[in-house]
Structure 1
Amino acid sequence: MVIPTSIRFLVFLSLAGLAIFQPINFAFADTVKLPSTSVEATDGSKTTASFMFDITSATSVSRLNTQQTLDLKMSLKPDPADIGHKGAIYAIFVKNNTFFLLNADRRFTVWNGGGATLRPFSEQVVLEAEISVNLLSGKLDSAGEYLVFLAYSLEGQFVLDYTKSPFVLTVHAAQQSPLVDAAFSVFATSLESKVIQTRCVACHVTGGLARNSALQFQRTATGSALNNLSMLQSYLGSAGNSANTLLTKATGGNSHPGGPQIIKDSDDYKAMLQVLTLLEQDQKQRSEGIAYSFNAVQPDAPPSGSSLLLAAVQLEPREATLRRATILFQNRAPTVDELARVRQGDDKTLRAAVRELMSGPQFRDFIVRATNDRLLTEGTENQPINDHFVNYAVLRNLAYDVQFNEGDDAWNQKYRSRITDAASRASGELIAHVIINERPYSEILTAEYMMMNPLLNQVLGGTAVFPATAGGSDFLPSKITQFYPAKEITGSPKHPIAGTKVLSRGTPMADYPHAGILTDFAFLARYPTTATNRNRARARWTLYHFLGIDIEKSAQRPTNEAALSDRNNPTLSNPACSVCHAVLDPVAGAFQNWSEHQIYRVNGDDSLDGFYKFPPNGARSLYQQGDRWYRDMRAPGLFEKPLTNRDYTLRELASRIVEEPGFNTAAVLFWWPAIFGSKPVELPAVASDQGFAEKNTAYLAQQSAIDEFATVLKSRRNAKDLLVEMVMSPWYSAQTSTNYAFQAIHLEADLGSEQLLTPDQIASKTLNLTGVLWRSNETPDGMLYSYYKNIKVLLGGIDSRGVTERATLLTPSMTSILQTHAIESSCPIVVKDFGLPAAKRRLFTKVSENLTPLPAAHQTTVEVTSSSPTNWQEHKVTAQIPAKGANIRISFLNPFCDWNGTTCTDQRYLLIDAVTLRHNPSGTTLRLEANAPGTSIIGKKLDCFLDGSNASFFSDCALNIFLNLDDAYELDIIAHMSARQSTTKPERAQAFIEVLSAADIITANTANALLIKSQIVDLFQKLHGSSYALNSKQVQQTYALFSVALIAAQQSGKTQIDNCQTWIDGKFFSDLLTPNQLSLARSPDPKGGNFYAINFNYVNPLLANYTLDRSGAKRAWMAVVTYMLGHYDYIYE
């Protein structure tokens, strides 16, 4: 039987009235009968039917809990007119705003609220005077409020008699059982500090030797005892685990790698047996009976979509996700076609669109930038590739020749800084190469090559073959072929500036031991080794970046006096130290062949430091001939597995790392901040801290998501798959919280939060959306030099050395600089876009450069050929003068002054004597002197002024005549003008005569005004990703800003934009000029510097043409662009 959809709305209306419906206070009894509620019929007819609801339990029902077995029973007294007929009975439970329908098999399924899907749990029931039916017997395993709606209908009819108000059950989370309390008491006093913290955590912790075990304990912290007991509970709750299994391993059985940790029948053993027995008894009690779980199922959900935390959010529209992903990966807005395809498609369409973004130079830059954010390779203290060492003979001899002939400054300017920049970028280029070409992600460590640009390829003897057009930003896989062992080299005497020149080289190393990032020059330089550090920094960050192990947080640093005073090699033998060093030092040993200057076996046969091999105090050294590693440290290895290859230890280490489960988890952690904008939540340690519960919940939810993302990478080894799933997840696309109870958790987790763009991202976004390369220059070698990087720390960025974490919130200094970015960029953006052909414009595709809301009635440019200031000429134009207010304006277009610091040695200026207005066809005339009423002069007073009755214009000036005519008239406008011409410039003085309506621009409703508003709508979509209607508040306010700026520009009298800082746009000339013009405008530095010299004599006249703004419209658009670039929606994505 199909029930009308009105039942859905009736249930929703009933829910809406719950504010006045109070939960029942149960009496202390094994059974409680809830008071009956009023019943109504869906067709509005009267009914006397009633429902009752009983709750029965073996224990008290005064406070229901999740471990209590309940019998829920309903009783129905149908309307007397329905007695004797057959009917159907319905039950709907509501939990967390989700509807669950009771089915005939007494199972619950999610109900969508539609009448067409409403089904009874009991049919063909003969309706008697009173009917009792059992609804469920078992546990309600989720705490919270349950709402129960009941209804019945007659067979073959479409009318429901239903409970208008629900029966309400409040179920509390079960308190910890006495069995667990007893177990905790024993655990805390007899096991936590004595056994767990002193023995078990040596291996059973994150990153420990038993890192893959189901038992992962927490080191000593507030709440660690409770957490570790919970870990035992979780262990016992997993299939195949038992108290006997754990005790057998703890005593050394079942091939326990850690050997015996407790002795059978000892006090420790008995305490552990007692705790485990109590926990097993508790689990047995909890498992008895049926448990009903009311959790909504979301099919086809992205990773973590089934989590309650993520279910309580509303996702942003797919178009919004695509825009944010396009800005993130490509630094541009999505195209109209891309948006349309996603809008009309489904999640599969969006997933495909996101994946298509993962290619090209912009995506490569995203990967390189994100890699540096983690590895910080741009922050090396010393040169990644040290040009002083003779091992790289090609590099050494090139450096020698330049330094010998031109000095060290020339070498630094021409080569050293470029080599350092390229080497610092190589690790990011390697990861980009692996991801873009969809190679196995493990290759970031196992690659037997490195990424080189043409310069690195030249000085290292690389195997890559570059096209002739390749520049410094082009990288290809390459192998080093010109590395020579030191013992093969013969060098010249050392020059005080140029150093040593390689005279003979011997045989280069046949197979340079590339091992991906592990042998990357900048990685080794960023985490240098010393005589005391012994590669531990390199090992620490290898474990952190590629296995997700933060060794410094894996154990508390020893504070007791005995441990701190131990001088007997404590890292090897003192448990307080070895707990970390057992994991750290073998990985350090894998770097044994690499020196502090990133040279392979710098000593010829090893890279051991001289203090160890030859102690300065004459003490006996542990070193023996042929040693590659320190004898007082653990042998090279990873966890419990030693490394066997002494020549290619890092290759072997890399192959071991990528097989570890932690490698995939570490990859997710590596990319988490780059995709989601913040680091994952750390596990809170102090239970009494404010927000502990929210942080803990957020942490657990994120760890679940991290595990699921890691599974994606493990199964496919394709990082694009990982990045796509991360973008498709609610962690990226969540928009709003739909459940108040989760809002604090969502806030802690930064769920779906918009990201404050980095300085590089803002600059790249501005470049790709507007075409302006902010505070950057193109260089002859194809690289970009960005001046804004000098202030990027103030802008929230990092320098990869002192400041290593990006700002996620705006500061006053950041706000000030971002406003500077908006102001500086606005003029180049506007004048360059209007300087391009309409088909190539990025922004202003609907308006022309002089379009204003009130179109000019007439515009004419006239040439004043007067030979002297006293040679007056008449210049006539004929125009239609609008009624109800009009302005006749005469502007001076081309003033000129050759200023020598004191005066103008040559000059061009304009004089206006009067303007005569003659009516057609009557011939009536009116002569208006420049100082007549109704006339005014616009411009600087020092340069635009009255001299008697004449107007003298020495700069951008205008004479304005206001007319207020009852009707429109055709008039001849005769301007009486003269000029002084320049003696060095051939161009004659020019005046611009126009007739403008004096109507209110802001309230104008002309076709031009609508076109400008339509352009504003497009700008919002392009720059902010926001869609607004033409009459929306946002568009109207922005149009008002345009209008006010336009009025100010027109009232200034200027026809040129002052101080348009085109120099801040590194692509201004290359985008606007032809190749021939560009070669005349700039040329490479004649002294060999990596920059262009500008020919200002050629460039300045071109700039004057681009910054010409007769109507003031360009300046009005500058105001709009400044507003939009400084807006929250521009600097956050």
Structure 2
Amino acid sequence: MKMPTEGIRQCGEVRMKRALWLVLILTLGTVLSGCKSEYSGDVGGASNGGNGSLIGNYNPEGQRQYERQCASCHGVDGNGTPIGSSLVACSTCTTLSVLADEISRTMPIGNVGNCSGSCASDTAEYILYAFNGYNLAAATTTLEGVVNHELSATLRSAALQLAGRLPTASEIAMVEKNGEAGLSLALNQLMNEENFYQWLMEAFNEQLLTDKYLTSNQFEGGVNLLDPDDYPQRKWYNDAYPADEQSSIRGCVRTLTNDAVAREPLELVRYAAQNGLPHTLYMNADYMMVNWYSQQVYEATLVDPGTSFKQLAEPVCDANGVKVYYDPNDFRPARVTKNLEYEMGGLYHAGVLTSPMFLNRYPTTFTNRNRHRSRIVFDYFLDTDILKIEGDRPGDGIGTGTANPTLLDPACYACHQVMDPVSSAFQHFTERGQFIVTGSTSPNRWDSSDIEPAGLAGKTIPLSGSSGYFRNMLQWLGNEIANDPRFIRATMRTLYSAIIGQEPLEAPGESGSDADKVAYNSQRAVINTIGQAMAADGWNIKTGVKGIIMSPYYRAKAVDAGKLVSNQHIGASQFLSPEQMQRKLQATLGFGWDEFRNENNRIMYGGIDSDSITERIREPSGLTIAIQQRMASEMACRASALDFTRSAAERKLFRFVEPTTTPEDASGTINAQAVSMIKHNLQHLHWVLLGEQLDINSSELQASYDLFYQVWSQGQQLLANSGNYDPNPGASLEWECRGRWYRLADGRTGDTLPTELRIERDDHYSIRAWMAVMTYLLSDYRFAYE
């Protein structure tokens, strides 16, 4: 097949204008235009002063205490610093008593308990007056002037991102009829689908990075981390399928087993969300998650022993007459109750904190003494960067000659008094995550004389008596984290980064501009309010997801520069990861790109392997753009004829035309009805692929039509020049572009279509004209962003 390119080249000017327009958008913060919907500024909870009224009374003693004990972390003006959050619309700034109690129990971070009683109440009153009165009102009203996307466009973006599909006609109708209430209901439906839970686990893995141990990254990566003395059945499949002729079934089961072990901490997130349970189980669940395959590894006891694992109608593994039917996605709570080598009574569980994958992903050493794990806990689960605590660290990492600098050197102790209590809570877990209780005769030695006792935020874990936690310190820690307001912030940070594609704004500090402070406070006010709503709704993580989707930070489409003080972080548009792009291709074309099965292609397109590459590419390079263009060309080729093999009602792309629908009839006369049908289908393609609703007379739609017409017109000449043969060779489609195979979800070639359904020729050159349009749209930056 000879593919004319002149028409595509002539449309290059339109594509270049689009690119320049995107640059202008990103520079000015104006994300196109649309119907106006101003954000009300009502953030609930601590807002109370959205009309500009002041909260509380000025308390001079509270100001003195604040400046003496709080300002170094939270900033003189309450806008926060890298170590201390903003106090504008803070999660505990709801009432005087709530805030005073929080100060008494957890502040100041380096000297907990130093401000209680009247000190706490005075300081709380000052904080409510100074940072949650006028400042809060000014911050939230700065979102006036934000213009949101139409609700149907927001639904489309959310459906693709969260559920990997396009919205149905009934969902769009519900949104158009019921407005934001309809959007809320539609989001509820999306968040009950399997793809949402897969997305949720991907979001948390971008932080946790335990997918490093999947079979696709490391052979038996997760299983090999488990101690064989503790888990003698860790490779149970070798005994179950020992014969050489069973190697295929053994390999299949081994992969399912290893991946179940590797994803156990992420499955806990999924389990809570799927069953309407509090997300705090991530920290304090007294069980772990297993499927049938990983239960054999741990010899674990199901929490509900009266249930059994689901078996599928078709075998998951099938080789040489051996079939395995257990659903690998059926995970259930279970406990390891068998005796471990060094401790009678079995392993206790504390959510992700005791997960073997978490403990191995963030290991320790004899000298580090779990401080690395402590830093990760503060960062991931308490939204606190310990390394930014003020203090003078020796340049060579060694103290000033003090015998025990972490306890006795003030420069070291400022950080270690915060970090080390959490480090001590991990003392029973070795560098490989093996549970061995410390003691004088234990292989896991621990000298408690040179490190702070286990605890958090000024509290020390009780170790003895009926309420003692000596063996299960992490259960105490997990419960404390789950009840700490910082866990709300940390969870919202994870969700916000995953949905918006950017980290929340960092506290600007004292040197920040007024615009930076306003932008930070505006964002913090909205995010904190969503977090409070999530916690109040039984810690339902779906409430947090929905809150972000409904907020102007996701929906913003344009801003009124005359009203918006700062346009930082307004509007969500992120470069899709390979996994997101694959789901988008499946949703819009019906199948994915088989090249994404190759890990190198996923990495080059900006993906991660959770090991050596742990951050996604957010801004595409020349290489990623080249990959997208190749993908656009190949997918347009593979999808176009295949879509025409389906009935019009079943088609995803060409619902309003047939291969015989051409702009002119045999005599060269314009066929007005056919042109209308072609333009109608172009409207459909622009909506499905780019999410834009174009008027039939718009210049953008006309550019796409011109491309179709030019390629079709040039094709008529090619057909005429090769028309002396029967059949006309110019009508034959390239082998890969023919509609003769079903396509699997990942893009691989499936079974051959029945002869009567195949499309292997393009006698009117219309299919290749549609391929050109498809290539044009799939290579548009808006298809790669969502």
TM-score (norm 1): 0.53
Within a 5 Å distance, the mapping from 1:170-249 to structure 2 comes to 200=69, 205=73
Q: CA deviation at 1:1107?
A: 3.5
Q: 2:460: which partner in 1?
A: 642
Instruction: For residues 197-238 of structure 1, give each alpha carbon's deviation from its aligned partner in whole angstroms, at most 9, with x where no partner exists.
Output: xxx47x9747xxxx9x99998699xxx9xx99x99xxxxxx9
User: Which blocks of at least 5 consecutive residues in structure 2 are unaligned?
Assistant: 1-37, 40-49, 55-59, 89-94, 117-122, 313-324, 464-468, 720-728
Q: CA deviation at 1:751?
A: 0.9
Amino acid at match of 2:200: I
For residues 417 and 400 of structure 2, the distance between their equivalents in structure 1, rounded to whole angstroms, comes to: 20
The 3 A distance-change label for structure 1 pair 256 and 445 is: closer
Instruction: For residues 310-369 of structure 1, give each alpha carbon's deviation from its aligned partner in whole angstroms, at most 9, with x where no partner exists.
Output: 113122222222222112211222122212221222322222222221111111121011
1:736 aligned counterpart, secondary structure? strand
Instruction: For residues 773-808 of structure 1, give each alpha carbon's deviation from its aligned partner in whole angstroms, at most 9, with x where no partner exists.
Output: 2226xxxxxxxxx52542223222223233323233
Q: CA deviation at 1:838?
A: 3.1
Q: 1:731: which partner in 2?
A: 553
Amino acid at match of 2:731: T
Higher strand share: 1
Q: 2:169: which partner in 1?
A: 336
2:604 aligned counterpart, secondary structure? coil
Q: 1:656: which partner in 2?
A: 480
For residues 538 and 841 of structure 1, the distance between their equivalents in structure 2, rounded to whole angstroms, comes to: 52
Instruction: For residues 731-765 of structure 1, give each alpha carbon's deviation from its aligned partner in whole angstroms, at most 9, with x where no partner exists.
Output: 2212211133636x21x3x2113222222111101
For residues 1064 and 815 of structure 1, the distance between their equivalents in structure 2, rounded to whole angstroms, comes to: 30
For residues 1065 and 685 of structure 1, the distance between their equivalents in structure 2, rounded to whole angstroms, comes to: 60
Q: 2:527: which partner in 1?
A: 706
Match of 1:794 among 593, 604, 608: 604
1:1015 aligned counterpart, secondary structure? helix
For residues 799 and 219 of structure 1, the distance between their equivalents in structure 2, rounded to whole angstroms, comes to: 28
Q: 1:630: which partner in 2?
A: 447
Aligned partners of 2:112 and 2:457 also within 8 Å: no
Amino acid at match of 1:1114: I
Q: 2:377: which partner in 1?
A: 542
Match of 1:997 among 667, 683, 686: 667
Q: CA deviation at 1:1046?
A: 2.6
For residues 311 and 198 of structure 2, the distance between their equivalents in structure 1, rounded to whole angstroms, comes to: 23
Is 2:208 the partner of 1:390? no
Q: CA deviation at 1:624?
A: 5.7
Instruction: For residues 637-685 of structure 1, give each alpha carbon's deviation from its aligned partner in whole angstroms, at most 9, with x where no partner exists.
Output: 2222222312222222111111111111221112111122210111234
Q: CA deviation at 1:706?
A: 2.7
Instruction: For residues 251-301 of structure 1, give each alpha carbon's deviation from its aligned partner in whole angstroms, at most 9, with x where no partner exists.
Output: xxxx992389xxxxxxxxxxxxxxx9xxx9xx99x9xxxxx99x9xxxxxx
RMSD of aligned Cα (Å): 4.7
Aligned partners of 1:590 and 1:649 also within 8 Å: yes
The 3 A distance-change label for structure 1 pair 411 and 772 is: closer
Q: 2:340: which partner in 1?
A: 485
Match of 2:190 among 337, 349, 357: 357
Amino acid at match of 1:1054: G
Q: 2:579: which partner in 1?
A: 760
1:451 aligned counterpart, secondary structure? strand
For residues 594 and 627 of structure 1, the distance between their equivalents in structure 2, rounded to whole angstroms, comes to: 8
Instruction: Return 693-702 or 471-480, whichever deviates more.
Output: 471-480
Aligned length: 670
The 3 A distance-change label for structure 1 pair 1026 and 560 is: closer
Is 2:514 the partner of 1:693? yes
Amino acid at match of 2:168: T
For residues 566 and 217 of structure 1, the distance between their equivalents in structure 2, rounded to whole angstroms, comes to: 34
2:706 aligned counterpart, secondary structure? helix
Aligned partners of 1:589 and 1:636 also within 8 Å: yes
1:346 aligned counterpart, secondary structure? helix
Q: 1:327: which partner in 2?
A: 160
Is 2:234 the partner of 1:424? no
Aligned partners of 2:590 and 2:745 also within 8 Å: no
For residues 1103 and 693 of structure 1, the distance between their equivalents in structure 2, rounded to whole angstroms, comes to: 69
Q: 2:588: which partner in 1?
A: 769
Amino acid at match of 1:394: Q
Q: 2:288: which partner in 1?
A: 450
Match of 2:204 among 367, 371, 375: 371
For residues 358 and 249 of structure 2, the distance between their equivalents in structure 1, rounded to whole angstroms, comes to: 24
Aligned partners of 2:592 and 2:745 also within 8 Å: no
For residues 676 and 399 of structure 1, the distance between their equivalents in structure 2, rounded to whole angstroms, comes to: 44
For residues 737 and 426 of structure 2, the distance between their equivalents in structure 1, rounded to whole angstroms, comes to: 51
Q: CA deviation at 1:459?
A: 2.7
For residues 620 and 97 of structure 2, the distance between their equivalents in structure 1, rounded to whole angstroms, comes to: 52
Match of 1:436 among 265, 274, 279: 274
Larger Rg: 1
Q: 1:1028: which partner in 2?
A: 694
The 3 A distance-change label for structure 1 pair 1009 and 721 is: same
1:485 aligned counterpart, secondary structure? coil
Amino acid at match of 2:518: T
Is 2:728 the partner of 1:1058? no
Aligned partners of 2:406 and 2:412 also within 8 Å: yes
Is 2:672 the partner of 1:1006? yes
Match of 1:847 among 654, 657, 660: 657
For residues 562 and 545 of structure 1, the distance between their equivalents in structure 2, rounded to whole angstroms, comes to: 24
Match of 2:762 among 1109, 1117, 1121: 1109
Within a 5 Å distance, the mapping from 1:860-1009 to structure 2 comes to 996-999=666-669, 1004-1009=670-675
Amino acid at match of 2:639: I
Instruction: For residues 358-403 of structure 1, give each alpha carbon's deviation from its aligned partner in whole angstroms, at most 9, with x where no partner exists.
Output: 111111121011111121112359833326613212224544787x
1:478 aligned counterpart, secondary structure? strand
TM-score (norm 2): 0.74
Q: CA deviation at 1:1109?
A: 2.6
Instruction: For residues 879-925 of structure 1, give each alpha carbon's deviation from its aligned partner in whole angstroms, at most 9, with x where no partner exists.
Output: xxxxxxxxxxxxxxxxxxxxxxxxxxxxxxxxxxxxxxxxxxxxxxx
Aligned partners of 1:563 and 1:574 also within 8 Å: no
1:311 aligned counterpart, secondary structure? coil
Amino acid at match of 1:817: I
Q: CA deviation at 1:413?
A: 4.9
Within a 5 Å distance, the mapping from 1:268-279 to structure 2 comes to none
The 3 A distance-change label for structure 1 pair 731 and 556 is: farther
Aligned partners of 1:333 and 1:1025 also within 8 Å: no
Instruction: Return 766-775 or 472-481, whichever deviates more.
Output: 472-481
Aligned partners of 1:385 and 1:598 also within 8 Å: no
Aligned partners of 1:1043 and 1:1116 also within 8 Å: yes
Q: 2:709: which partner in 1?
A: 1043
Amino acid at match of 1:558: R
For residues 1063 and 417 of structure 1, the distance between their equivalents in structure 2, rounded to whole angstroms, comes to: 34
1:793 aligned counterpart, secondary structure? helix
Q: Percent identity?
A: 26
Amino acid at match of 1:595: T
For residues 767 and 757 of structure 2, the distance between their equivalents in structure 1, rounded to whole angstroms, comes to: 14
1:538 aligned counterpart, secondary structure? helix
The 3 A distance-change label for structure 1 pair 811 and 677 is: same
Q: CA deviation at 1:407?
A: 13
For residues 485 and 746 of structure 2, the distance between their equivalents in structure 1, rounded to whole angstroms, comes to: 50
Higher helix share: 2
User: Which blocks of at least 5 consecutive residues in structure 1 are unaligned?
Assistant: 1-96, 99-108, 111-139, 143-179, 232-237, 261-275, 287-291, 296-302, 489-508, 609-622, 777-785, 856-995, 1082-1098
For residues 337 and 471 of structure 1, the distance between their equivalents in structure 2, rounded to whole angstroms, comes to: 35
Q: 2:630: which partner in 1?
A: 820
Amino acid at match of 2:334: K
Aligned partners of 2:637 and 2:736 also within 8 Å: yes
The 3 A distance-change label for structure 1 pair 599 and 1069 is: closer
Q: CA deviation at 1:627?
A: 7.8
